[in-house]
Amino acid sequence: MASSVAITQVQPVGFARRVVELLPGLALLAGVGYAGKFLERTINVYGKAHHLTLPNIEYVLWAILIGLAIANITGVPAIFKPGVATYEFWLKAGIVLLGARFLLGDVVKLGGVSLVLVAIEIVVSLVFMTALGRAFGLKPKLTTLLAVGSSICGVSAIIATQGAIDADEEDASFAIAAILALGAISLFVFPVIGHALGLNDLSYGLWAGLGIDNTAEVTAAGALYSDAAGKIAVLAKTARNAMIGFVVLGYAIYWARKEGTVAVGNKAAFLWSKFPKFVLGFLLISALATASIFNKEQLGSLANLSRWAFLLTFAGVGLRTNIFEMRKQGLRPFAVGAIGEVVIAALTLGLVFGAQKFLH
Amino acid sequence: MTEKLDDNARREKPRGFRLSLDGWAVTLALFLSLLVALGVIKKIPW
């Protein structure tokens, strides 16, 4: 996740200028997202009116495809880029609002199972990716970045780890490009495999949440399968995101010892600085919903607000994916990432099947 | 010995108050939830 997109409280003139700079890109996100929703509805209405059986393509896929077409055919002009980069912001706001659709008991149960699966997945995938990186002769810090990106949280984990282990910008760029390319592929492949295997919403949602790297792609891959699967996928990924601080801390200590520097003074402060705060917002909204602070209609409104936020996110996923730029990146980091991705997907699928009896 | 990460953190620390992307996203979501709970926002259609 592009945590570099930070909104700073500055002088009023600067703030107003910054908001104005965001407007074209925000309008593009809204336009692409709404075009996806419009296409889904129009095709459904047309099919019904003409008694045709047309494939029901969700707005999620339309929004991503329209975004991809713009990004790869005409390119996204510079004026739109600041606003398009806010898709991560809408993703996180959407996840917090999604908390209204979960009772806290379900969060604890599913989140608890997810955390156990996440712990197993992280250990196995870190070991596997490290061995794979060595076998392919990648630089050790690039291998570390790829391992963290594949096992936990995609781009945000890579950015956090790069700062903590003092890795090269170039290594981080390779790792991010590989993770984004693989995320874009997973986004389309996971639903196909899920349907082929006849996975139910719960199993598929857990699998997508554990197996796909970047949160935006997890959210989209879940929503492409079904609304219920999307909810579960986001919950599982949120549990995975919560582990980011521990793994980054572990690697910071490892590299500091290896290079003879001192890594971290106050470990609790370090963990807090790396902890994704939207996880707490998600839990808070879920607790408020469980305490019946919101009535049924209000819960529906919060769920719809979450959907609108995700609509902007899905448009952003397409608009920021430039296939030609990704092709310029190194082949070996991509190969290591791709092999790791397939193995992690198979591993997490096995874990989900193994956890079935604890989920009912 | 000055610690490496703390050094980085100090170098990157901006002047004045700074809220992270996460912080802003949570703030917006909670503010919207408050407006819905208070009935200021009646209904959000989809």
Q: How far is it, in rounded angstroms, from Cα A141 to Cα A172?
A: 9
Which position has the token pair 């719809």?
A304
Indicate the pTM of the whole model.
0.77
More confident residue, A303 or A114: A303
* Largest separation between any pair of C-alpha atoms in chain B: 58
- Mean pLDDT, chain A, as a whole number? 84
Residue A346 three-state SS: helix
Contacts of A260 in chain B (CB under 8 A): none
Q: How far is it, in rounded angstroms, from Cα A241 to Cα A245?
A: 9
A177-181, A202-206, A269-273 — most confident range: A202-206
Torsion A336-A216-B9-A274 (CA) sign: negative
- How much is the ipTM here? 0.74
The answer to whether the beta carbons of residues A3 and A285 sit under 8 Å apart is no
The answer to whether residue A4 scores a pLDDT higher than 50 is no
Q: Residue A264 — pLDDT band, cuts 50, 70, 90? A: low
Going from the C-alpha of A330 to that of each of A123, A134, A170, A178, A338, the distances in angstroms are 26, 16, 11, 9, 13
Q: How far is it, in rounded angstroms, from Cα B6 to Cα B9?
A: 5
Nearest to A32 by CA among A78, A81, A69: A69
Instruction: Convert the pLDDT of each residue in A277-291 to its tens digit.
Output: 888 898 899 899 999
Q: What is the mean pLDDT of residues A206-222?
A: 90
Q: How far is it, in rounded angstroms, from Cα A316 to Cα A26?
A: 10
Q: How far is it, in rounded angstroms, from Cα A112 to Cα A106?
A: 9
Please indicate whether, in this complex, the C-beta atoms of A92 and B43 are within 8 angstroms of each other. no
Nearest-by-Cβ selection for B26 from A96, A265, A288: A96
A19 touches B: beta carbon within 8 Å:
no
Under CATH, what is the fold of the domain A13-358? Na+/H+ antiporter like fold (1.20.1530)
Instruction: Give the domain ranges of chain A.
Output: 13-358
Please indicate whether, in this complex, the C-beta atoms of A8 and B18 are within 8 angstroms of each other. yes
In the structure encoding, which two tokens stand for residue A36, read together?
Answer: 């996806």
The answer to whether the beta carbons of residues A246 and A62 sit under 8 Å apart is no
The answer to whether residue A221 scores a pLDDT higher than 90 is yes
Nearest chain A residue to B28 by CA distance is A93
Q: How far is it, in rounded angstroms, from Cα A307 to Cα A227?
A: 10
Angle at A13 between CA A11 and CA A15, to 5 degrees: 70
Please indicate whether, in this complex, the C-beta atoms of B45 and A304 are within 8 angstroms of each other. yes
Nearest chain A residue to B43 by CA distance is A301
Please indicate whether, in this complex, the C-beta atoms of B25 and A293 are within 8 angstroms of each other. no
Instruction: Convert the pLDDT of each residue in B1-46 to its tens digit.
Output: 334 444 444 445 455 667 788 899 999 999 999 999 999 998 999 8
* Largest separation between any pair of C-alpha atoms in chain A: 72
Q: What is the DSSP letter of B40?
A: S
